[in-house]
Amino acid sequence: MSRAEGRAARREPSDDAIVLGVLDAVERNPSLTQRSVARDLGIALGLVNAYLKRCLSKGLIKIGQVPPRRYAYFLTPRGISEKSRLTATYLIDCFAFFRQAHAQCDELFQMLAARGQRRVALVGEGDLAEIARLLARDHLIEIAGIAPAAVDAAILGAGLDPLGPLDAVVVTALQQSREVYAAAVKLLGAECVYAPALLRVPAAASAPADVGER
């Protein structure tokens, strides 16, 4: 998995994404260490061990011995085929996410501009925040900054305070989205808090759910 793909996977590594990461790591470096794989994929060392054992049991990789008294992992023909399948699926999923996020953020910023809410903060770092930040320029929306996601209103407020006066905030946290949205509403009021519909927060102010799903 490339660095760019790794950043996209930060959304929340799925079972298939981890298997793909392990297979890719084995193909790139047969003499890899489990610790290096854990670091690259951002998962626990024990989880890497479990996935390597799973790949071995499924015949996706095999172990060979290399001097001095060390072991190396190699992809089997079945492993190469599975890596190709997972790569195609992963890239399709990434493209679908980008297209949906792009369409929903675009419509959301149109709505904010129409309401005169032009100075906006994003809440939650990650891929969705980066997409929103880039799209805001097309609508003359000023992104004051990206505040850390927090499920506690007081902590969230502390993260937003340095950004100065705001007309609205857009939740872009991909984890605990509902709780982050609720904290923002408690802090600022529902009329100032928005979220793309793909986050599935119960928000009347969110972009329409069918945007980007046509």
119 shares its domain with 156: yes
Report yes or no on 89 lying in a domain: no
The tens digit of pLDDT for each residue in 90-124 reads: 878 888 899 999 999 999 999 999 999 999 999 99
Report yes or no on 32 lying in a domain: yes
Report yes or no on 208 lying in a domain: no
| Burial 167-202, CB ≥16 within 10 A → b, else e | bbbbbbbbeebbebbbbbbebbeeebbbbbbbbebe
195 shares its domain with 117: yes
The tens digit of pLDDT for each residue in 132-173 reads: 999 999 999 999 999 999 999 999 999 999 999 999 999 999
112 shares its domain with 194: yes
Report yes or no on 80 lying in a domain: no
Report yes or no on 212 lying in a domain: no
114 shares its domain with 190: yes
Q: Evaluate whether 113 touches 141 at the Cβ level (below 8 Å).
A: yes
Domain span at 39: 3-75
User: What is the reported pTM?
Assistant: 0.65
Report yes or no on 68 lying in a domain: yes
